[in-house]
Amino acid sequence: MQHRRPRLSKKRKTLLASAVALAAAAVLTTVALAAPEFKNDTGWAWQLPPLPTRWGSGGAPGMLMRLDRMTPNRLQVTLAYPFETRRDVFKFRPVAFSAGGQRFEFQWDGDATQDQIKMMMSVYSLDLNQVPHEVPAAGAQEGSQTPPIAFLGIEKLTSERFENVVAPALSRKLKEATGQTLSYPFTDKPYEFELTTLDGKRLTSKELRGKVILLAAWTTSNVPSLAAMTSLKEIYRKLNSNGLEIIGICHDFDIDQAKQSVAALGTPWANVLAPPGKEQRELWVRAAGIESFPRLLLIDRQGILRVEPSAQTVEAEIMKIIDRP
């Protein structure tokens, strides 16, 4: 015998529809409450807002993304995108969040380009040893742990926001933490610094206005930077009387070692030690943009950063501006 479904009255249909709508609203509310608030760092914005973590490939506007677990304790995010996507963008950065909203930033490992197809690939990693598991929720199975990475998004920082918002904020923070400042280098823009030498003297960009300044970042452990410091001595000898000043910025982690290295090199100019403490050094590197050695910054007599020369081109670049007012 065929059974017919009982018909619902109009009133019951209305009540049922209302119940379904309320249930759906409850589900949506639960989901919304379950997701933490995803805040950007100052100046940053979302290229891809955080979504529940998915392994393998995914996408964002103008971008392909892949998340892989390379080892039990290391995650890797690979981004591939056209050159056009990177235009006016200073930096991309994958950011992970735990279920409770704790934020973890992936570290940049390197870039590669495919000029023929005008594509760029960026690789980032996250050390899970630095990501604590959260306390299991009440009623969770014994021995269970909340996954440390529950959401993953891609932040972007435009060149304009970096120059006008992030870089000045980092400079202020560095001044508060160390009493020194070293601006991020923007070519053809005024360059400011306030530094303390190894023998306690104060050097500022304002006091040295009217000189041609070469800031030379180096470290004892980097052979090319030691070679650069040696070659700069001859340039300094020839051009110091014409208004060239060099300031060495040593990136050793011990002031006694720095003084010994300066003495061994026999550099005749003032030398500064970058803050040796871990947190202060990290802030210094971010604020000043010094991530490799040797790093040379050439500032003209008006206090404008003109070029970041190599050790091979520095003398020629100095000669271009040494006779300018």
Q: Give the count of beta carbons closer than 10 Å to the beta carbon of residue 233.
A: 15
Per-residue pLDDT at 117: 87
pLDDT tens per residue across span 168-205: 999 999 999 999 999 999 999 999 999 999 999 999 99
Q: For the segment 241-300, what is each residue's pLDDT rounded down to a tens digit?
A: 999 999 999 999 999 999 999 999 999 999 999 999 999 999 999 999 998 999 999 999
**What pLDDT, on a 0 to 100 scale, did the predictor assign at position 156?**
96
How far is Cα 119 from Cα 115, in angstroms, rounded to an integer? 7
pLDDT score of 135 more than 50: no
Separation between Cα atoms, residue 98 and residue 146, nearest integer Å: 8
CA gap 46, 63 in Å, rounded: 13
Q: What count of other Cβ atoms lies within 10 Å of the Cβ of residue 129?
A: 9
Residue 19: pLDDT over 50:
no
Single-letter amino acid code for the residue at 236 = Y
Q: Give the per-residue pLDDT at 147.
A: 53
Total-model pTM: 0.77
Residue 141 has pLDDT above 50, yes or no: no
Whether a cis peptide bond, with omega within 30° of 0, leads into 294 is yes
Q: Give the pLDDT mean for 31-59.
A: 80
Mean pLDDT within 146-165: 89
User: What pLDDT does residue 17 have?
Assistant: 38
- The position carrying tokens 């060099």 is 246
What band does 33 get if pLDDT is binned at 50, 70 and 90?
A: very low
- Mean pLDDT, the chain, integer: 86
Residue 184 dihedral angles phi and psi, to the nearest 5°: -70, 140
Structure token pair of residue 37: 């608030």
Higher model confidence: residue 4 or residue 40? 40
Q: Give the pLDDT confidence score for residue 16 in this predicted structure.
A: 33
- 142: pLDDT confidence band, cut at 50, 70 and 90? very low
Q: Please write the tens of the pLDDT for every residue from 230-257.
A: 999 999 999 999 999 999 999 999 999 9
